[in-house]
Amino acid sequence: MGRKMMLILTVILLLGVLSACGTPKKNEKSGHNGTHHNQENSAIPSKGHGEHGDHNTMEQPANSLKASFSFASGTVKANENSDLNIQITDSDGNSVNEFELSHEKLMHLIVVSKDLSYFNHVHPEYSKSGKFAIETSFPNGGEYKVFSDFVPKGGASTTLSEWVKVEGEKKAQDPIEADTKLVKVDEGKEVELSLSSTKAKDEVTLAFNIVDAQTKKEISNLEQYLGAVGHVVILSDDVEQYLHVHPVNEKATGPKAEFMTSFPKSGTYKIWGQFQHQGVVFTVPFVVDIK
């Protein structure tokens, strides 16, 4: 009986050891579940990446929107009023029908000559089906670039441009050279411009100081122009880099008006500052070199 009892105890011990040896298999299965969980986690960034891509698409609507510029008469001649039509469509050619106000207007149209000696900032009227129109004229024959600046509903600020050819007598092209002194006078206002930096890609503060040209008295009662103390448009001398800059403090009234921007690359740029005083809009141009 003693031997039988010993044998039974031995068997029980062996079964216990075998049972213990099976335990890691359960852990392996648990480990597999852990790996599967990690795979699910790795799918989350993938989803997030897709959402980020959609966000980028929204931030760069110019990739999917198009603007066509045409004249009602088919051709345009210098010093003649012409109806300029702008059609905004998506990548499939469908009209974009809804737009948001940007500084009180649905569209800002900037027109410049190739040598940047001519500048015009106007606001086409919206009719329907993505169509804008405005009556305008050009002072001389030659090439002009038109920039359509707008915000599609639910999208971001978009600028689309095109060169147009104007028939008529051309004038000599003015060289685009940096100003030796950043002081200009227009409509009885003396405006001095200072830049916090002249290096490409730096964050730059453009500060316009505005005084009466005769008395040198500071002008501190500037009026709102399109919902702000002023507007600034900047173009590179090759007319490829376009910046439409708004003020740091839109409700400022002078004598100083500050704007923040960044020049994308080195080169020569022309800056137009636009302000309003006593019901009159005045425009001051400056040319600067950016290193």
Parse the chain into domains and list their residue ranges: 61-166, 183-290
pLDDT digits (tens, 9 = 90+) for 178-203: 999 999 999 999 999 999 999 999 99
Torsion, Cα 259 263 268 274, to 10 degrees, reads -20
* 282 touches 189 (CB < 8 A): yes
pTM to 2 decimal places? 0.77
pLDDT digits (tens, 9 = 90+) for 120-169: 999 999 999 999 999 999 999 999 999 999 999 999 999 999 999 999 99
Q: What secondary structure does DSSP assign to 125-165, as a single string?
A: EE-STTEEEEEE--SSBEEEEEEEEEEETTS--EEEEEEEE
Asked if the domains at 61-166 and 183-290 fall in one CATH topology, the answer is yes
CATH of domain 183-290: 2.60.40.1930
> Parallel, antiparallel, or unpaired: how do β-strands 189-195 and 204-212 relate?
antiparallel
For the cut 90, the answer to whether the pLDDT of residue 63 exceeds it is no
Which CATH homologous superfamily contains domain 61-166?
Macroglobulin (MG2) domain (2.60.40.1930)
